[in-house]
Each structure stands twice: as C-alpha cells, then as structure tokens.
Amino acid sequence: MARGERIQSLWGGYGEIFRVHLTGADDKTAIVKWVRPPARPPRSESAASHARKCRSYEVEERFYRAFAPLCDARSRVARLWASHASRGESFLLLEDLDAAGFSGRRRNPTPEETDLCLAWLAAFHARFLGVRPQGLWKTGTYWHLATRGDELLAIEDAELRAAAPVLDRRLSGCRHQTIVHGDAKPENFCFSTTEERVAAVDFQYAGGGCGMKDVAYLLADGGPESVELARVDTYFGQLRARLAERPSPVDASAVEAEWRSLYPLARADYFRFLAGWAKGAWARDAYGQRVTREAVRALG
C-alpha cells in the first residue's frame, strides 16, 4: 500500500483524508480517514466542542462497521475495508467511491441532483425506520441541542431561546424514529458519472431521530418556500415507494402524516442552531427568521 494524494483535512485540524494505492487487491485504490485529534482542546474550542468531535469519529466507525452493510444500492455508502484505533488516533480504510463511479461533487446541485439526494435520504430512512441507533448518537445531527449549549446561550432572540427545548422535545418524541445521516449537505453526496445515482459519506453525526431533520437541512438553502415544499413532496413520494418494498408492512400514511407535521419544527430547529452559531448570517436571513418565528409561535 502506497500513499497517494491528500484529499482534504478534517474539520478543525483533527486529521486528514487521503487516497492510497493498493497492491495485490481487487480494488486499486482506497480512502484513508486518519483521525489525529489534539490531546487538549485548541484555544478556539470549548471542552464540549472537543469532546463532541472526538465522539463523532467513534460514531462514524460504528456506523461503517455495523450499519453500512445494511445499506443497499439506493442508499449507497462506501464499504469499510479496515479500521484501527490506538493512543487517541484512529483510521478508517474505506472503498474509494470515485473508483466505484461516484466521482461527481456538487456544492450547488441542480434541482434534479437535489432530487437524487432526497431519493437517497428516503431510501436510507426507510431502511432504518424503527432501528435502534446502538453505538451511534442517541439523537443524530451535528446541531442537536444537547450538544450545542454554547450556541444556545448565544441566541439573542429570547423567544427562540426559550422555544429551543420545546422544539427538541417535539422532534425527539416523534413516534416514527429512524436513523438520520446527521450532516446531509450536498458536499457529502457523491454523484455517479454514468447513472442517476448518488452515494453518501461522512457519518460522524448519524443517530436516531425524525427523518425530517435531514430533509430540512438539505433544503435549508433551497430557494423560495414553494420550491422547498415541492422538494419535500418529492421526498415523500420516494419514501412511500421505499416503505412499500420493506418485507414487513409499514403504515406509510402514518409516517408521512407525522413527519410532514414535523417538517416546520425540524427546519426551525436547524435555524435555531444557526441563530447562535452564525449570528451575522442569521441577522441577514429574513426567510429563516420568518419560518422559524412561524414554527415557534405555532407551538403555542
């Protein structure tokens, strides 16, 4: 095995991702995700933030080992070839999705490409509906309230700050729970160059929850609300189709009814995080403020 090109550093300087060239194997290349967190939090990080990042890499290893093998072609992820942890460092040796035909990357996907991502999410959520997130985050997403106390205190809007725990309880109390990706942004999808398919990467914040969290996050910058809600319809069309394929019957209408009612709350929950984490951008986001205010006031 020989080291190849560096692909990117991990968030906050906690390691790097690079390609390796293999000999004597069916695959010619693989991807290494090498995690090397600092022993102590950097000056710019709180102890809670540092602990959250370190835990996220343990979660990702667990996902690839225990949950990724359950994904099918509609919810394509990289295969895990090997993993190892020692003295605070760890690595994942993963299938090279570029070599598998998923070399396309998008920061600003077209509507059609966004639909492919929604189809992936629908298949993923349908596959893991009712599955316990053992070893993952109990509640998935990187903006989950229990892990974002610093950002909650930074929210200047008193009404939103007070509503944050209520939003969290409503979403966590969802009857129909699945496993969420937790960071389903366009950059974490790999597009096929020959077929209309995508694969997904980066499962550090996979965990239990309502599927609407992933959908609201993916569509957060999706344009006018009418377009956003049309994309939600696309997701549910895909979800109904995937639920119909499950070997055990599922009341797809009940899942859809509950999740549709929670979509505004999932959207507000993500914007709640932005209000404390990216205060400057939040101050300029008239749309985010409006839909969040509407959702908060609908809580009563």
- Per-residue model confidence as pLDDT tens digits over 208-236: 999 999 999 999 986 788 899 999 999 99
Better-predicted residue by pLDDT, 300 or 31: 31
Find, among 117, 80, 94, the residue nearest to 191 by Cα: 117
User: Is residue 28 a contact partner of residue 21, using CB atoms and an 8 Å limit?
Assistant: yes
In tens, the pLDDT along 21-75 reads 998 878 899 999 999 988 777 777 888 889 999 999 999 999 999 999 999 999 9
Average pLDDT over every residue of 255-268:
97
Matching CATH topology for 2-95 and 111-298? no
**Domain residue ranges in the chain:** 2-95, 111-298
In tens, the pLDDT along 129-169 reads 999 999 999 999 999 999 999 999 999 999 999 999 999 99
Question: Is residue 102's pLDDT more than 80?
Answer: yes
In tens, the pLDDT along 169-182 reads 999 999 999 999 99
pLDDT at residue 195, as a whole number: 83
Cα→Cα distances 41→38, 44, 51, 142, 148, Å: 7, 8, 8, 18, 16
pLDDT at residue 42, as a whole number: 76
Please report which confidence band the pLDDT of residue 111 belongs to, taking 50, 70 and 90 as the band edges.
very high
Superfamily of segment(s) 111-298? Aminoglycoside phosphotransferase (APH), C-terminal lobe (3.90.1200.10)
CATH number for 2-95 (one of 3.40.50.720, 3.40.1030.10, 3.30.200.20, 2.40.110.10): it is 3.30.200.20
Question: Is residue 248's pLDDT more than 80?
Answer: yes
Please report which confidence band the pLDDT of residue 207 belongs to, taking 50, 70 and 90 as the band edges.
very high
In tens, the pLDDT along 85-99 reads 888 899 999 999 999
Q: pTM for the whole thing?
A: 0.96
pLDDT at residue 12, as a whole number: 82
In tens, the pLDDT along 275-296 reads 999 999 899 999 999 999 999 9
